[in-house]
Amino acid sequence: MIVGLVVAAGATPAAAQSSVSARAAADQQQQARYQVTQMERMLEGAVEHGATLVRDHFKAAVQAQSFVPENPENAHVRGFRLTGYGVFFDIEVPPLQGTFLLTLRALDQNDLGLQSALKALKAHIDAAGDTNLQQALKRVELQVAPIAVSSTTESPAAAPTKGARLETGTPATLTADDAASPDPILVDPDGAYRAEIQQQIMEAMLLYSVPLGLGPDEWLTVAARRHDERPLLAPADSDARTVIIKIRGGDLAAFQARQITKDEALKRMDVRIF
Q: Which residue has the higher pLDDT, 68 or 254?
A: 254
Q: Which residue has the higher pLDDT, 209 or 95?
A: 209
Q: How confident is the model at residue 170 (pLDDT cuts 50, 70, 90)?
A: very low
Residue 208 has pLDDT above 70, yes or no: yes
Residue 172 has pLDDT above 50, yes or no: no
Residue 269 has pLDDT above 80, yes or no: yes
59: amino acid identity, one letter: K
Which tens digit of pLDDT belongs to each residue from 130-141? Answer: 777 777 777 766
Average pLDDT on 53-81 reads: 74
Domains of the chain by residue range:
35-97+186-273
pTM of the model: 0.64
Average pLDDT on 118-145 reads: 72
> Could you give the angle at the alpha carbon of 45 between the alpha carbons of 43 and 50, nearest 5°?
95
Three-state secondary structure along 212-262? HCCCCCCEEEEEEEECCCCCCCCCCCCCCCEEEEEEEHHHHHHHHCCCCCH
Find residue 247's DSSP bridge partners. Answer: 220
Please give the Cα distance from 7 to 123 (Å, whole number).
Answer: 91
Residue 151 has pLDDT above 70, yes or no: no
Which tens digit of pLDDT belongs to each residue from 17-65? Answer: 777 777 777 778 888 899 999 999 999 999 999 988 988 887 777 665 5
